Amino acid sequence: MNYDIFNGDADGIIALLQLRLATPQESTLITGVKRDINLVTKVDAKTGDNLTVLDISMEKNMVALELALSSGAEVFYADHHRAGDIPEHENLSAHIDLDANTCTALIVDKLLNGQFHEWAITAAYGDNLIAKADELASVAGLSCEQKSQLKELGTLINYNGYGAKVDDLHFDPAALYQALLQYSSPFDVIADKTSPFYQLQTAYQSDMDNALAIEAQHKSEKLGLFELPNEAWARRISGVYGNLLANQNPDSAHAVLTQNADGTYMVSLRAPLNNKQGAGEICSSFATGGGREAAAGINALPKEKIAEFITVVEGKY
């Protein structure tokens, strides 16, 4: 059996997209909402199975990864999140880069020698690596209009990954991946008026308008914190809204808190763009938290912990 295991955001989807455009294969798709990262546990690996794991923390999947390797499965693993101690195993091909200015799709892009480079640039835009994506796009000779198109497409694919459950999303990430796999170039997606791009474009604008109408709950030189309600639109927009805030004020950290059904908060934290470090460390210090240097999150932050969270973030930056 072949298993393609990938994060349901732009980076995970486009990392796999590049690999399967280069080497098509029949496989079982394992994915979910962006916060659903314990994905390797969903595979009962056997000897001879092949696992491709993309854009989910190795550290968070270590027990399941070691179990798969010990069962005789072969694992290709590419990621840019916290990895822990990478196992040394003959069946593991690990491509881990924790640089704050890279993403999994860019790691795959290097492995494929830029075969689907425009898709990789789209993923970088979607992962809010705007400066890096602009740099790569300029080197590739793309126009300002083309950069803007790839930035919008990447943002929309990323937007689709946010939610507490797949029902919150406009597309199941597996279905969105399969739809995008029909296009060898991201510009072909935009050219096709029946593609997911246009449905996501309309939905994104509606959700963003709702978010922009909400005032900050906490505002200082070091942190802007916004609380969104327990509604599907709020869960969908939380991550890309955080990216928008980060780009508007690159010297400040930003946190978007979306209320969960049980009264806790899902937290999306962005480090200052001019100081892209520490977000993963901050969120990992709270139960259900994790992430990377520039962007991280907490799945269920109790309301009484919000003041502590603010103190920790402002103390870091």
The predicted-structure confidence for 256-313, as pLDDT tens digits, reads as follows 999 999 999 999 999 999 999 999 999 999 999 988 899 999 999 999 999 999 999 9
Taking all residues of the chain, what is their mean pLDDT, rounded to a whole number? 96
Task: Clarify whether residues 48 and 192 are in a common domain.
Answer: yes
Measured between alpha carbons, how far is 231 from 100 in angstroms, rounded to an integer?
Answer: 31
Q: Are 154 and 15 in contact (CB under 8 A)?
A: no
Query: If we measure between CA atoms, which residue out of 66, 133, 115 comes closest to residue 94?
Result: 66
Task: Clarify whether residues 155 and 227 are in a common domain.
Answer: no
- Kind and range of the H or E element at 242? helix 232-248
Task: Clarify whether residues 167 and 220 are in a common domain.
Answer: no
Residue where a domain stops, chosen among 168, 202, 236: 202
Does pTM surpass 0.85? yes
The predicted-structure confidence for 217-256, as pLDDT tens digits, reads as follows 999 999 999 999 999 999 999 888 999 999 999 999 999 9
pLDDT-above-70 percentage for the chain: 100
Q: Are 44 and 246 in contact (CB under 8 A)?
A: no
Residue where a domain stops, chosen among 202, 224, 244: 202
The answer for residues whose C-beta is within 8 angstroms of residue 289's C-beta and 6 or more apart is 267, 282, 283, 296, 297, 298, 299, 301
Q: Which two tokens stand for residue 187?
A: 């510009």
Task: Clarify whether residues 152 and 245 are in a common domain.
Answer: no
Q: What is the CATH number of the domain that holds 20?
A: 3.90.1640
Classify residue 157: in a domain, yes or no.
yes
Classify residue 208: in a domain, yes or no.
no
The predicted-structure confidence for 7-63, as pLDDT tens digits, reads as follows 999 999 999 999 999 999 999 999 999 989 999 999 999 999 999 999 999 999 999
Q: Are 225 and 217 in contact (CB under 8 A)?
A: yes
**Rounded mean pLDDT, 106-128:** 97
The beta strands (E) that lie in the chain are given as: 2-6, 28-30, 50-54, 74-79, 92-96, 218-219, 223-228, 253-259, 265-270, 289-291, 295-301
Q: Which two tokens stand for residue 143?
A: 């126009």
Residue 258 main-chain phi, psi, to 5 deg: -115, 125
The predicted-structure confidence for 150-203, as pLDDT tens digits, reads as follows 999 999 999 999 988 999 999 999 999 999 999 999 999 999 999 999 999 999
- Binned at pLDDT 50, 70 and 90, residue 116 comes out as very high
Task: Clarify whether residues 172 and 232 are in a common domain.
Answer: no
Q: What is the CATH number of the domain that holds 250?
A: 3.10.310.30
In the predicted structure, residue 82 carries a pLDDT above the cut 90? no
Residue where a domain stops, chosen among 202, 235, 262: 202
Classify residue 209: in a domain, yes or no.
no
> Domain span at residue 114?
2-202
The beta strands (E) that lie in 265-309 are given as: 265-270, 289-291, 295-301
Residue with tokens 């970088």: 124
The predicted pLDDT at position 292 comes to 86
Q: Are 91 and 42 in contact (CB under 8 A)?
A: no
Task: Clarify whether residues 14 and 146 are in a common domain.
Answer: yes
Classify residue 210: in a domain, yes or no.
no
Query: If we measure between CA atoms, which residue out of 39, 45, 47 comes closest to residue 16?
Result: 39
Task: Clarify whether residues 179 and 300 are in a common domain.
Answer: no
The predicted pLDDT at position 164 comes to 85
How many domains would you assign to the chain? 2
pLDDT-above-90 percentage for the chain: 95
